[in-house]
Amino acid sequence: MKTAGVIVEYNPFHNGHAYHLQETKNLTAADVTIAVMSGSFLQRGEPALVSKWARTKMALLGGVDLVVELPYAFAVQQASIFANGAISILEALGVQELCFGSESGQIEQFLSLVKLRQTHQDAFDAAVRSFMQQGMSYPKALSEAFAAIQGEHAILDMSKPNNILGFHYVQAIVEQGSSIIPRTVPRLSAQYHDETFASASIASATSIRKHLTANSLSSAAGVIPPSTLIELENYYETYGIFHNWERYFPFLKYKLLTMSPAQLSNIYEVQEGLEHRILSAVKEASSFISFMEALKTKRYTWTRLQRLLVHVLTHTTKEEMRVNTPTYIRLLGMSKKGQSYLSAYKKAASLPLVANIKSASHPLLQLDIKAGSVYYSVLPEPLQSMMLKRDFTQHPIRYDEVAKRFQI
């Protein structure tokens, strides 16, 4: 079977994702599509709108054949670490081609820029250091360094969020010596950070989440597949909430108010004396938004601070995050086709497969368990206890794509 991989968050699965998935199948002629999906917390330092189990269902209903989890240690990270973790898992699963969405839409541009950076690695690193010494944030320094090595005839616009991720996917493939062939498709009209609907049928996940917070579910019906709408309705009806940072802010504030500067400085990504600024600002903050507005500077981006605060919320230390590569593959869901592929390939997989965590033991898995426990903490009882237990006992969700129903 020919396999294609996608790296996703599906927060939530929308029409743009459906287009990307269909284009992936068309471009690669793959028999099986495998998605590496972030779990409870996401790359930009946000809680997922709904649980990974609900998002797995959306993925399977949308046409993915196998869904596996990107561990917390790689999911809530800057682009290069995020990409390295995801590519390692796809390689371990025998994926032959990767397809990602980008503002560019031209894979040759990514391959050329990766080669150019390798050729000018010392100059690039020096430029990044120089720009950061001028007070720029790390992402801005990277963007300026890329512009510097590209000169007047820019190969790729590295100020665009999906181009940035795509570059790191291709770079991870090259650096890991992976046999995966990278491909890209252009994003449709909606941009990653758009907060309003770009058209009647296409919208960014950011705008959809904002819309769902401010309006009824039916208002987003035109930009998400009917299956996603049903899953969102079911989740809200069952749990009474969609997850967002404001729901976790009381927990975060309590956590910070009980920490000393020394304790906070041990949390991953807290550095350069930032612990003092955080502990000072939280005393005056009445909401997550007001807290973030007090913290943000030119040097510390909103996204970096959100990731840092996720690590505070989950009490993830610098020692716990000293990892280089995934040590297991957690299975979240599969179609019948995905199950057939897994049955044929599992003996060749270079990482152990985890069907449920009740009897599994991997150091990185403890971070996933902790993150899941924190994620479900905002649910009312007895639902909170039910979901905590479910994370330990849940086997991969099975979907019969022919009968179009989930198997019990």
- The reply, when asked if residue 324 is annotated as ligand binding, is no
- H helices of 151-200, in order, are 161-175
Please indicate if the annotation marks 187 as binding a ligand. yes
Q: Is 101 annotated as a binding residue?
A: yes
- Is 7 annotated among the ligand-binding residues? yes
DSSP string, 47-84: B-SS-HHHHHHHHHHHT-SEEEEEPHHHHSS-HHHHHH
Q: How far is CA 340 from the centre of its chain?
A: 27
Residues 6+ apart with CB under 8 A from 276: 261
17 annotated ligand-binding residue? yes
Give the separation between CA 312 and CA 38, rounded to whole angstroms.
19
Question: Can the peptide bond before residue 380 be classed as cis, meaning omega within 30 degrees of 0?
Answer: no
13 appears as a binding residue in the annotation: yes
Q: Binding residue per annotation — 249?
A: no
Q: Is 64 annotated as a binding residue?
A: no
The CA-CA-CA angle for residues 152, 157, 159, to 5°, reads 120
Q: How is residue 192 written in tokens?
A: 């990653």
d(CA 233, CA 246) in angstroms, rounded, equals 21
CA 67/CA 55 separation, integer angstroms: 10
Q: Is 162 annotated for ligand binding?
A: yes
Rounded CA separation 240/234 (Å): 10
Owner of token pair 């510097």: 148
Is residue 14 part of an annotated ligand binding site? yes
* Residue 355 assigned to a binding site: no
Q: Is 129 annotated as a binding residue?
A: no
Rounded to the nearest angstrom, the gap between the alpha carbon of residue 290 and the centroid of all alpha carbons in its chain is 25
Return d(Cα 256, Cα 313) in angstroms, integer: 9
| Strand 329-335 with 66-70, pairing | antiparallel
Residue 374 burial (10 A CB sphere; 0-12, 13-18, 19+) = buried
Bind-site residues:
7-20, 101, 162, 187
Bind-site residues for ATP:
7-20, 101, 162, 187
